[in-house]
């Protein structure tokens, strides 16, 4: 019998399908943020964005300018031409750069680079450990009046292990109504006009709110001690924080990928994973049942994700990130199958009689 050979080949693939997705446990997936049966996809916002605040040291002619840069989906890339000591370490997702501005001497000097949040386990540091809270079902009464979610990202102690624990808390608020956008723009314009009338230079007033490039805004709220942690608080108004964003097709990417969700289960059932001749050889051993069970599991999981979280495309499938890796794993195992079948006289893979 050759059952043992084929079973040894298929076993790792089947296990890979059924194991929980390690990728979700080890990293933060900004395309699938879920809490209390509600799903959000903010992957379109996955690019570096900066918001600035300035602290005036009057009567001294100096100011401290702090630029907070965040990439909500992945670690920030190192800036070219900047010394290592003037940038945050690898793995940083939220970085604060402080510079001292001397208006009398018209000079700017570097002060500090603070990693506020990120994944630093490779360097013996902390996990990102994201905490997600859906605002509509929050325990806070004020939160329940809002639509969106709160994301807390952990950071290391700074400047060393005896320093202050760092943390970033970003409140993503739904802002998909034309009235809200007009009101916010008029508010920003009014503040700018007031500053111009006063004739005073105020970097914080013009730098606290930044356009995110997708019709939303990021606003600096505070950076101060909360309990034992130094916490950066930001407010991000975006259409991607609306709970019906998935149904509306939030962006072109989500809209186009939604068509795949309709046919995913059909593709899984109609395309056999192996040629029929090979398939019949181990069908009697029960391997066929494993694949049928796996297919049923994927279909049922997709149905649950669609109804519970309004998932679309690849996100319909349970453990979608793992499944995306299957073609590469399958290619490697198929190469091994071919080499085994062409091995000739070797008894490897035959079970003893």
What are 240's two structure tokens? 């991607």
Nearest one of 21, 50, 45 to 31, comparing CA atoms? 45
Q: What is the pLDDT of residue 324?
A: 60
Q: What is the pLDDT of residue 76?
A: 94
158, pLDDT greater than 60: yes
**pLDDT tens digits, residue range 234-276?**
999 999 999 988 666 544 444 444 444 444 444 445 445 444 4
22, pLDDT greater than 50: no
Residue 172 contacts residue 241 (beta carbons within 8 Å): yes
Q: What is the pLDDT of residue 344?
A: 53
**pLDDT tens digits, residue range 282-330?**
445 566 677 778 778 878 777 776 665 555 566 667 766 566 667 767 7
If pLDDT is split at 50, 70 and 90, which confidence band does 5 have?
A: very low
Average pLDDT over residues 215-229: 94
DSSP state string for 76-136 = PPPPTT--GGGSPPTTEEEEEEEEEEETTTTEEEEEEEEEEEE--GGGT------EEEEGG
If pLDDT is split at 50, 70 and 90, which confidence band does 145 have?
A: very high
201, pLDDT greater than 50: no
Q: What is the pLDDT of residue 26?
A: 43
23-27, 49-53, 84-88, 96-100: segment of lowest average pLDDT: 23-27
Q: What is the pLDDT of residue 80?
A: 83
Handedness of CA 58, 109, 54, 127 (dihedral sign): negative
Residue 74 contacts residue 93 (beta carbons within 8 Å): yes
The model scores a pTM over 0.75:
no
């Amino acid at each position: 019998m050759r059952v043992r050979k084929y079973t040894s080949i298929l076993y790792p693939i089947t296990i890979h399908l059924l194991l929980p997705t390690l990728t979700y446990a080890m990293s933060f997936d900004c395309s699938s943020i879920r809490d209390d049966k509600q799903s959000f996809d903010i992957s379109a916002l996955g690019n570096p964005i900066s918001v600035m605040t300035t602290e005036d040291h009057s009567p001294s002619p100096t100011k401290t300018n702090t630029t907070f840069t965040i990439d909500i989906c992945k670690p920030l890339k190192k800036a070219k031409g900047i010394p290592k000591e003037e940038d945050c370490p690898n793995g940083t997702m939220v970085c604060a750069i402080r510079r001292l501005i001397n208006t009398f001497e018209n000079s700017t000097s570097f002060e500090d680079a603070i990693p506020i949040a990120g994944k630093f386990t490779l360097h013996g540091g902390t996990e990102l450990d994201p905490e997600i809270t859906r605002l509509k079902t929050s325990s806070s009464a004020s939160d329940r009046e809002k639509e969106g979610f709160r994301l807390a990202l952990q950071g290391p102690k700074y400047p060393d292990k005896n320093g202050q624990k760092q943390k970033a808390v970003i409140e993503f608020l739904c802002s998909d109504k034309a009235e809200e956008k007009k009101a916010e723009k008029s508010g920003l314009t009014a503040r700018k006009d007031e500053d111009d009338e006063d004739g005073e230079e105020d970097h914080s007033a013009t730098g606290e709110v930044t356009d995110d490039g997708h019709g939303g805004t990021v606003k600096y709220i505070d950076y101060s001690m909360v309990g034992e942690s130094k916490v950066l608080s930001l407010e991000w108004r975006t259409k991607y924080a609306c709970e019906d964003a998935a149904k509306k097709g939030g962006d072109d990417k989500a809209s186009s990928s939604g068509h795949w969700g309709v046919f995913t289960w059909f593709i899984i059932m109609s395309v056999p994973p192996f040629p029929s001749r090979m398939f019949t050889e181990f069908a009697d051993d029960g391997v066929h049942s494993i694949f049928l069970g796996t297919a049923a599991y994927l279909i049922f999981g997709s149905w649950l994700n669609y109804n519970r979280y309004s998932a679309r495309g690849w996100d319909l499938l349970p453990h979608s990130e793992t499944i995306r890796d299957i073609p590469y794993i399958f290619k490697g195992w198929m190469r091994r199958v071919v080499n085994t079948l062409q091995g000739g006289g070797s008894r490897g893979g035959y079970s003893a009689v």
